[in-house]
Structure 1
Amino acid sequence: MATLAAVSLVVSALAFVHVYAQDQPASWSEPQKPVRIFGNTWYVGTRGLSAILITSPTGAVLIDAAVREAADGIASNITSVGVRLEDVKLIVNSHAHNDHAGAIAELQRRTGATVAALPWSAEALKSGKKYAGDPQFESPTTPPERVAKVKTIRDGEVLRAGGVEITAHKTAGHTPGSTTWTWRSCEEGRCVDIVYADSLTAVSADKFRFTDNKTYPHVIDDFTRGYAFLRSASCDILVTPHPEASDFWPRIAKRDGGERDALIDRTQCARYADRADAQLQKRLATERAK
């Protein structure tokens, strides 16, 4: 029997496919009150799209910004947890699609924060257009608003903003610039390693083939490296750009119901990679059978 997490991964992947032909899911812009994940780490996104705020007394970091119309809600959530917008010093991204980077440009204007990304994502964000190499390049999707200035970073680079320190890990495949972020948060003398793992799903435009692809020839190798990283990462708490892909809301409900460690599962990152790998292998088998 399929686990809830496995079903959620499939539903999350299908959401990408069906959004091409119809309006985006309502949950992507549905307001959501901020939720403390652990210590100085907060969920400040919409109900259906993650945005993560990591705070310190001297500055904060925002990871992802959902769709364009989510800017007001994310800004309100940031201030409601006691962080002034001008204290957001750094904005980073999982991958440069509108559902995760749509409001980055607007939030950069409001905060004055530096936006940083791996090379492919940096160029995509600066272009304001769909960017070559993306498996979804030929899909009728809306690109994120152009970001005026983006700092290019490297795989494995440690970024610091105020008292926050996070590390960028290239986990490409879903896009050539897909990035997983890791950091440590503490509360009441207890510290955990948090992994914000980017989407690992092999989703594409109809004509894109992951096998023998000319526009993104290393896509399978990139996926494989990303899976290997997630399987070996120090991972106490997993959060994903689409919260259902990591059972975020059910786990929050359990935690708020009294199960203190409901968010903590040191096997979750590896299982997340395993599910995505199985989905990729199924996709490759389908392509090779044609």
Structure 2
Amino acid sequence: MTMEPYMNHYLTALVFTAALSACSAQSLTDPVATATVPQPSEPILCTDNAGWNSPATPRQIFGNSWYVGTCGISAILITSSQGHILIDSGTEKAAPQVAANIEALGFKLQDVKLLLLSHEHNDHAGGLAYLQQMTAAPLYARAPADAVMRSGKNSRSDPQFLELSAMPAMAKVTTIPDDQSVTLGSLQIQALATPGHTPGSTSWTWTSCDEKQCLNMAYIDSLTAISDHEYRYSDDNIHPGYLASFRRALKQISQLPCDILLTPHPGASAMWQRLGAEPTQALINPNGCRDYAENASLKLDKRLAEENSAG
């Protein structure tokens, strides 16, 4: 499938109003606003230092996998004739842009039947409530993320708790077990619990095919060991088992079948060097997940050494 028809569609100004599907969820009391998103006159060249809300041109990644996020924050659409899955939303402010990007590619918002997320921070999940209103799709999340998305507020179990902003709470959230396989029609996507960056961090793997081949897609969550000034990854008395779970997740990621690596922050995996209008790196790299996990492991070791030296 080529991008030309979708790019032509994208370059047309879009004004859309989406209504909740009557066959799915309960009605919402808040009205759904009409969103108007100005569209660029030519494809946008994204850079690694782009802002969270900087508009991006939507594009095909491979097969039925599409990039519909901003230049600074990823959102991934996986499509099928039975309905689509959307992973992540960007910020609350960016959500209308994500919705416009989906429609610019020729897909209908009401065909998005399932929402997923990488982790429960407002830069990646802040717009999910808006997109749930637009699509009526439920959010599937692991238990630690489920609790946050229902309330819109993080807890002290999150390493960055003191630095986080609240986000809109969601009405329709379904808890899924760790490492659950999620199915929608012909689509099957595998959850992988990867706690570390947040307690609810989840990575997702699936297979996408074109006319010639099928590839292993891996949307691997953020693996950075960053925190507010109080949190210590090495303090097992405060959060028992968390560091061990982080280490275990890194090992699992390093062993995944992984032809195309995608990440919530595009710059974390050189996505614009691989997906941009003028790519400088190969899109397919079977060692991508291994290298990403090994780099994160080195940074975790550095963080732990800093904590130990600080006493």
TM-score when normalising by structure 2: 0.81
The aligned amino acid for 2:140 is A
CA distance in 2, matches of 1:206, 1:270: 30
What residue number does 1:245 align with? 268
In the alignment, which of 84, 87, 90 is matched to residue 111 of structure 2?
Answer: 87
Give the structure, 1 or 2, with the largest relative contact order (CA under 8 Å, sep 6 or more): 1
What residue number does 2:178 align with? 155
Local SS of the residue matching 1:76: helix
CA distance in 2, matches of 1:49, 1:189: 30
In 2, are the aligned partners of 1:133 and 1:215 still within 8 Å (CA)? Answer: no
> Cα offset for 1:257?
4.9
Local SS of the residue matching 1:174: coil
Is residue 43 of structure 1 aligned with residue 67 of structure 2? yes
What residue number does 2:300 align with? 280
Bigger radius of gyration: 2
Moved more, 208-217 or 128-137: 208-217
The aligned amino acid for 2:162 is E
Change (3 A) 1:237 1:215: same
Change (3 A) 1:247 1:106: same
In 1, are the aligned partners of 2:67 and 2:75 still within 8 Å (CA)? Answer: yes
Is residue 69 of structure 1 aligned with residue 64 of structure 2? no
CA distance in 2, matches of 1:163, 1:143: 35
Change (3 A) 1:180 1:78: same
What residue number does 2:28 align with? none
In the alignment, which of 129, 144, 148 is matched to residue 120 of structure 1?
Answer: 144
What residue number does 1:58 align with? 82
What residue number does 2:36 align with? none
User: 5+ unaligned residues in a row in structure 2: which ranges?
Assistant: 1-48
The aligned amino acid for 2:224 is T
> Cα offset for 1:215?
4.0
What residue number does 2:211 align with? 188
CA distance in 1, matches of 2:279, 2:101: 24
Moved more, 226-235 or 124-133: 124-133
TM-score when normalising by structure 1: 0.87
Moved more, 77-86 or 268-277: 77-86
In 2, are the aligned partners of 1:27 and 1:47 still within 8 Å (CA)? Answer: yes
Change (3 A) 1:64 1:215: farther
What residue number does 1:78 align with? 102
What residue number does 1:200 align with? 223
Q: Which is richer in helix?
A: 1
In 2, are the aligned partners of 1:132 and 1:215 still within 8 Å (CA)? Answer: no
**CA-to-aligned-CA distance 1:79-99 (integer Å, 9 cap, x gap):** 111211110000000000001
In 2, are the aligned partners of 1:136 and 1:203 still within 8 Å (CA)? Answer: yes
What residue number does 1:177 align with? 200
Is residue 105 of structure 1 aligned with residue 125 of structure 2? no
In 2, are the aligned partners of 1:60 and 1:162 still within 8 Å (CA)? Answer: no
RMSD, aligned α-carbons = 1.5
> Cα offset for 1:213?
4.1
**CA-to-aligned-CA distance 1:186-228 (integer Å, 9 cap, x gap):** 0013100000000011010011111124442222111111111
Query: Would you say how many aligned residue pairs link Structure 1 and Structure 2?
Result: 262
Within 5 Å, which residues of 2 pair with 1:3-18?
A: none
Local SS of the residue matching 1:68: coil
In the alignment, which of 198, 210, 216 is matched to residue 239 of structure 2?
Answer: 216
In 2, are the aligned partners of 1:183 and 1:194 still within 8 Å (CA)? Answer: yes
> Cα offset for 1:112?
0.5
The aligned amino acid for 1:226 is A
User: 5+ unaligned residues in a row in structure 1: which ranges?
Assistant: 1-24
What residue number does 2:120 align with? 96
CA distance in 2, matches of 1:125, 1:257: 37
> Cα offset for 1:116?
0.4
The aligned amino acid for 2:119 is H
The aligned amino acid for 1:178 is S
In the alignment, which of 128, 146, 153 is matched to residue 129 of structure 1?
Answer: 153
- Amino-acid identity (%): 45
Local SS of the residue matching 1:28: coil
